[in-house]
Every structure is written in C-alpha cells, then in structure tokens.
C-alpha cells in the first residue's frame, strides 16, 4: 500500500513536464512554419518586382521606340505624298496633248491608205503601223477621258490652293494628308514622355507592383521639327538631310535598296577578234537623200563591220566603285517609263510626261515662275501643210515622214526583185523620221510615186552581205570583188507640227507672302545639335546615347509580411520590396528618324550613381505626368536606392 502510494504521487509530478515540452515544440514549429511562409512570400515578391521592373523598363522604352517609328513612318509617307503631287498633276496635260497627237497620226495614216498605196509591202507596213497607233490611241483616249473629260479633278488632290475654294489652305487632299501626318508627328513627340511613363506604370503594375516607373521620369524624344526644305533631298534623291552620318542613311538606301550602282570594267590583255562572218565593208551610196534627223530602217546601208576582224580587249569582270540612291519621285518615274515603253512605244507620252513632271517638281523647291511646254498640233494633209508653212506667221516645229527601205541584191523592176533571200526590209515596221522645221520633199529631187509618197533609189557596194545572198568573191589577185547593193527608200508624208507653247501649271501654288509657308509640312529629324552623335563614339552607354536612349525601370511593393507582421516586419526600414532593370532603344538599320526600325531590349544595369542622381534631379517632373507619379514617391525611391552602391545593386536583380 505504501509503495503504491509513493508511485502514484511521482506519476502526477512528472506528467506536467511533458505538456510544457509539447507546448514549446508546437510553438517553435508554428514559428518555423510562419517564418517559412513569410520568407517564401518575400522571395515571391522579390521575383514579382523584378518582373515588374523588367516590364516597366521594356514597355516604357518600347513606347519611345514606337514613337520614333511613328515619326519615321510619317516622314517617309509625307515624302511619297509630295513625290506624288508632280506626278499625278502631270497626267491631265500629258495625256491630252499626247492623245491629240497620236489621234492625228492615226487619222493621217488612214487618209493616206484611202488615197492609195502603189506597192503592197508599203501598204501592209502602213496598215500594221496604223493598227499599232490605234491601240495606243485607245489607251490614251481612256486616260484623257478620265483626267480631262470626267468629274474626276486631279487638282483636288494635288493643288495647294484651288481657285474658287474658300480658306484656309491647303485645299488639295495630298497636302491635307501630309499636314495631318506632320501634326500627328508633332503630337507624338509632345505626348511620348508622359505616355511612355504611363506605359511603364501600366505594365509594371500588371505584374503586381504597387509603384512602377522609369527614369528619366519624363523621357526626351530626341527630335526637332525642321522646315519644308528638308523634304527636297529624300523626295528627289532618296538622300536624308543628315546623310553625312554613315549610320543614318535612311530607308531608301538601307531598307529599300533603291540604288544605281557604278562600276568600272576589268579587261584582259588585248587580243585579235575575228570579224563578223557574212558582212563586209561598204563604199559609195551616191544619191542618198541627206535629211537631218533621219533614222535608217533595219535595211539601211547594211553593215560596216571589218570583215577581217579587229584588235579588242574582252571584259572579264567589273569593279563596284560606288552607288547613288534614288527617291520616290524617281521610283515613280521609272514605273511610268516602264509602262510607256511597253504599251505606248510609238508615242511621246513618256517624254511629255517627264518634262511636265520635272517642271512641277522644280516648282516645289525652286523658282515659282511658270514655264512652258510645246503643245503639238498636226496637219497631215500635204497641200494644207505647204500652205501653213508658206505663211511666215506660222511656226512649223517638225516635219514627219514614214520611211520604208528595201536593201536588195537586185534592182527594182528586175526579174529577181523581192525574191526570197535576196532582200531585207523594214516594211513590217515603218520608221517615223523627224526633221526640225519645215521640210518639203518636193525639193529633194526624187520621184513622187503617189499622193504624198516619194521614192528614192540608189546603190552602194559591198564585199559580202549574206542577209541578201551576196557571198564574197575574189579576183585574180586574191582581192575581194565589190558587188552592188540596190536601195529603195519610200517616204510617206506624215504631217507637220505647227503647235504652240502652253504653260505648265504649278500645283505648289502656296503664298510666299502670307502664312502658307509656315503651314507647309516639315519633317521631324533627330536633333543632333547637341551630343556625341558622331560615329567615332558609337557605344550605347556613353554620352547622349545613355542620357536619351537608355532607361531604368523601378518597381516596388510593400514588404509587410503575410503573417505576424509585428514580429517579422522590422527588417526593411523602407517598407517595400524594390527591383530595378535597365533597357535601351536602338536602331541597327539607320540611326535616325527616317527608318522604322527602332527596338527596345534589356541590358545590364550600369553607372548606378548616374541613375540615382537622375532620379533625384527629375523627381519634380513627376508633377507633369497627370497624376501617374508624385514627386514625393520618386524622391523616396531615389533616397532609398542611393543607399546602395554599385556592387550591391546586383543583390536587387533577380533574373
């Protein structure tokens, strides 16, 4: 009994110690769990803030890059609109005068065919020419109807000022569009600082930051609006105004590759080249009609190749010596030229069009005095042409003939005349020849074979001409024998041009003595007046490249622990988890405001002292962000971050 009592008393004394140990263990375990939770939460916040800082840096700098691309795109678009003004404004006059000219030619050929053609090969040639001219007249007629005989008025697109239109100018839609793009560019430059900060804050906060911004607080878009004259070089030659900097060559050079290459030949040592077989030397040709401006047909006078050969150097390669850039005006002109050579080859449309457009382009940046162009007016009846030419008050600019030539080894009228293989002719494609002033074929001293048709016959000698069946022959001394070639040239009177001059209108008719010139669109260019833009210092982190094109993203969020803040929240006196990130904008194609190739990227954080100084100095700019930031917040972050030296900054980066 006594033993049992003693045992029972000991048991009750020991049981309270276990409870105390258990309670202590539970408390320690709970504290450890809370610590792990808070540490994990803080780590997550630090990672989230790094993401937020990266987002703020990239999105803020990307907005600046996009703003520069907008300005560059607008600059290029305006050059194209300005280049289009002289082109589009040239169509009414060019199509009208060319269409009337070609229609006169078509009518004259039809009249001649109606009067009768003595030779079938001449008639077939003129019919072929008439059909070609007719097709081209139809094309020009459609253009003429559009530009001159319809409700479509090119002036409403191209003219700065249109008579009868009310103020203000400009009236032309191309000019209005150019001005709108100019105003858009100006608004982009003015709004870019605040909008880039807003973009940085928006994307930083979307990554759970309570505060996110970039430094500089109001980034500077390095641009300045110049004047209308700075559009001249890119429009005409594709050369941007600051071409002296090799890294700012612009889109026409770097992106579009609109280049005319210049080269010199590489030749091997001279060597003997055998002559062209079948074509010998020629001599004689007396009796040929010598008229200025004549272009021989495909059979005229054969060949003049040395039958024995010549000493020549063969080109074996080329050396590229450079290139010149061309702009949108030349690009457009080349397209018109390509179309004209393909579909209007027998007309002077391209020549007229180019002269008119070049003049209008000259008005844009040159002398405003109106210039003139000859407007052709044709008379295709020979007697009527003689009457007009005999009147001294009339001025005949040109006389035109259609020429068909036959080169034959037999004279006309002989048994072999026009036998297969014995002749060459351009009868299927008569040649139009032009003579300055009035030229009366009656004074040539050759035979008139029909109404408005004259024929010249002459001969010359050659040693060989395989095209017409003449093979080389040798005399007893081994010398080549001269053999006769018979030429027949028939001239059909085409008409005379007795037109006059007309003024070329000026679509760029802005007023130089009023406010029009100040309203003209102007490019916004990279401001290189201050800073180290020279290619000799190309490093992205030096001078103006750092101060203007580099940004620091900052993101912060409360560091208050998730649980038991009173116990765990005393380690961070600033009270926030803060992260930083650096980004830059760059253009690898052309460093200027002409090429839409500006991009943004993250780079390592550098020159920490410079960042904290710029942040502190720019704190007051926060008052201009429309409530996005307040100066006190920026100053607090600047003061906190200034406590870190550059070596400690790495501790704040959590990539």
pLDDT digits (tens, 9 = 90+) for 389-409: 999 999 999 999 999 889 899
Please, which residues have CB within 8 angstroms of residue 5's CB and are 6 or more apart in sequence? none
Residue 279's pLDDT is 78
Residue 264 pLDDT > 80, yes or no?
yes
Residues 6+ apart with CB under 8 A from 406: 121, 299, 412, 418, 423, 424, 425, 427, 487, 488, 489
Question: Tokens 């295709």 identify what position?
Answer: 380
591 lies in a domain? no
Tell me what pLDDT residue 34 has: 57
State the pLDDT at residue 107.
Answer: 96
Q: Is 431 domain-assigned?
A: yes
**Rounded distance between C-alpha atoms, residue 259 and residue 281, angstroms:** 42
Task: Look at residue 360 and give its three-state secondary structure.
Answer: helix
> What is the per-residue pLDDT for 292?
36
Residue 507 lies in a domain: no
Q: In the block, which residue shows the tokens 């209108």?
A: 505
Q: What does the pLDDT look like over 99-109, one tens digit per residue? A: 999 999 999 99
The per-residue pLDDT for 244 is 64
R_g over Cα of the chain: 43
- 357 part of a folded domain: no
Residue-number span of the structural domain to which 479 is assigned: 275-307+378-498
Query: Does 532 have pLDDT greater than 80?
Result: no
Looking at per-residue pLDDT, the higher value among 390 and 645 belongs to 390
pLDDT tens digits for range 599-613: 999 999 999 999 999
pLDDT attached to residue 308: 64
Beta-strand relationship, 223-225 and 271-273: unpaired
- Mean pLDDT over the full length of the chain: 86
The residue ranking higher by pLDDT, 555 or 40, is 555
CB 79 within 8 A of CB 235: yes
Other CB atoms within 10 Å distance of the CB of residue 197: 28
Span 21-50, average pLDDT: 70
User: Would you say residue 237 has pLDDT above 80?
Assistant: yes
Residue 294 pLDDT greater than 50, yes or no: no
Prediction pTM value: 0.85
Do the domain assignments include residue 490? yes
Q: How far apart are CA 646 and CA 655, in angstroms?
A: 17
User: CA 372 from chain center: how many Å?
Assistant: 30
pLDDT score of 286 more than 70: no
**Which pLDDT score, from 0 to 100, does residue 30 have?**
65
Three-class SS of residue 485? strand
Give the residue from 365, 431, 439, 364 showing the smallest Cα distance to 398: 439
Greater confidence (281 vs 421) lies with: 421
User: Does 157 score more than 90 pLDDT?
Assistant: yes
The enclosing H or E element of 594 equals: none
**Residue 466 belongs to some domain of the structure:** yes
Crossing angle between the packed helical segments 2-115 and 349-365, to the nearest 10 degrees? 120
In a domain, 30, yes or no: no
Cβ-proximal residues to 310 (8 Å cutoff; 6+ apart), any chain: 272, 273, 275
pLDDT exceeds 50 at position 646: yes
Q: Is residue 303 part of a domain?
A: yes
pLDDT in tens, 454-484: 998 888 888 888 889 999 899 999 898 999 9
Average pLDDT (242-262) is: 84
Distance CA 90, CA 364 (A): 14
Total domains in the chain come to 1
- Of the chain, the percentage scoring pLDDT greater than 90 comes to 58
Nearest to 545 by CA among 531, 555, 556: 531
pLDDT at position 302 is 46
pLDDT at 91 over 50: yes
Q: How confident is the model at residue 570 (pLDDT cuts 50, 70, 90)?
A: low
Instruction: Give the range among 61-65, 292-296, 552-556 with minimum mean pLDDT.
Output: 292-296
């Amino acid at each position: 009994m006594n033993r049992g009592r003693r045992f029972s008393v000991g048991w009750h004394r020991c049981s309270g110690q276990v409870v105390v140990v258990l309670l202590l263990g539970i408390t320690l375990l709970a504290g450890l769990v809370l610590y792990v939770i808070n540490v994990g939460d803080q780590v997550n916040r630090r990672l989230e803030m790094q993401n937020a800082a990266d987002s703020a840096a990239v999105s803020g700098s990307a907005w600046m890059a996009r703003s520069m691309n907008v300005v560059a795109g607008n600059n290029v678009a305006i050059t194209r609109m300005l280049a289009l003004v002289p082109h589009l404004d040239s169509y009414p006059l060019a199509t009208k005068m060319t269409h009337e000219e070609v229609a006169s030619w078509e009518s004259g050929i039809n009249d001649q065919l109606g009067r009768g053609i003595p030779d079938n090969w001449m008639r077939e040639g003129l019919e072929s020419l008439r059909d070609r001219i007719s097709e081209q007249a139809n094309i020009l007629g459609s253009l003429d109807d559009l530009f001159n005989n319809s409700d479509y008025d090119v002036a409403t697109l191209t003219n700065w000022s249109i008579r009868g239109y009310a103020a203000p100018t400009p009236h032309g839609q191309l000019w209005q569009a150019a001005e709108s793009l100019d105003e858009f560019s100006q608004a982009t430059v003015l709004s870019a600082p605040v909008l880039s900060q807003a973009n940085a804050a928006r994307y930083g906060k979307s990554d759970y930051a309570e505060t996110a911004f970039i430094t500089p607080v109001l980034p500077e878009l390095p641009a300045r609006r110049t004047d209308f004259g700075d559009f001249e070089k890119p429009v005409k030659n594709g050369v941007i105004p600051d071409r002296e900097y090799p890294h700012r060559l612009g889109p026409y050079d770097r992106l579009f590759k609109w280049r005319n290459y210049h080269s010199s030949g590489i030749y091997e040592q001279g060597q003997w080249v055998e002559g062209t077989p079948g074509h010998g030397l020629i001599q004689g040709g007396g009796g040929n009609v010598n008229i200025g401006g004549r272009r021989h047909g495909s059979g005229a006078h054969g060949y003049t190749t040395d039958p024995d050969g010549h000493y020549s150097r063969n080109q074996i390669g080329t050396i590229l010596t450079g290139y010149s850039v061309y702009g949108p005006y030349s690009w457009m002109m080349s397209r018109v030229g390509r179309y004209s050579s393909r579909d209007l080859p027998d007309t002077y449309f391209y020549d007229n069009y180019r002269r008119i457009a070049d003049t209008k382009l000259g008005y844009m940046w040159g002398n405003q005095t109106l210039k003139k162009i000859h407007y052709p007016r044709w008379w295709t009846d020979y007697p009527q042409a003689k009457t007009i030419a005999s009147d001294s008050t009339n001025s005949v600019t040109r006389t035109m003939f259609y020429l068909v030539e036959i080169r034959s080894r037999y004279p006309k009228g002989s048994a072999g005349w026009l036998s297969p293989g014995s002749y060459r002719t351009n009868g299927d494609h008569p040649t139009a020849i032009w003579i300055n002033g009035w030229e009366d074929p009656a004074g040539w001293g050759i035979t008139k074979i029909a109404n408005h048709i004259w024929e010249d016959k002459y001969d010359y000698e050659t040693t060989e001409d395989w095209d017409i069946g003449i093979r080389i022959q040798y005399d007893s001394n081994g010398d080549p024998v001269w053999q006769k070639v018979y030429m027949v040239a028939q001239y059909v009177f085409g008409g005379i041009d007795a037109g006059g001059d007309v003024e070329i209108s000026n679509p760029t008719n802005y007023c130089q003595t009023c406010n029009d010139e100040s309203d003209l669109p102007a490019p916004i260019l990279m401001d290189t007046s201050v800073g180290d833009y020279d290619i000799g210092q190309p490093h992205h982190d030096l001078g103006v490249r750092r101060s203007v094109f580099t940004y620091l993203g900052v993101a912060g969020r409360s560091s208050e622990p998730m649980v038991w803040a009173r116990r765990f929240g005393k380690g961070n006196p600033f009270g926030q988890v803060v992260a930083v990130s650096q980004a830059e904008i760059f253009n690898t194609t052309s460093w200027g405001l002409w090429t839409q190739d500006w991009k943004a990227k993250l780079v390592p954080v550098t020159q920490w002292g410079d960042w904290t100084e710029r942040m502190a100095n720019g704190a007051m700019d926060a008052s201009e962000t429309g409530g996005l930031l307040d100066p006190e917040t920026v100053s607090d972050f600047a003061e906190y971050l200034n406590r870190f030296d550059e070596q400690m900054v790495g501790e704040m980066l959590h990539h």
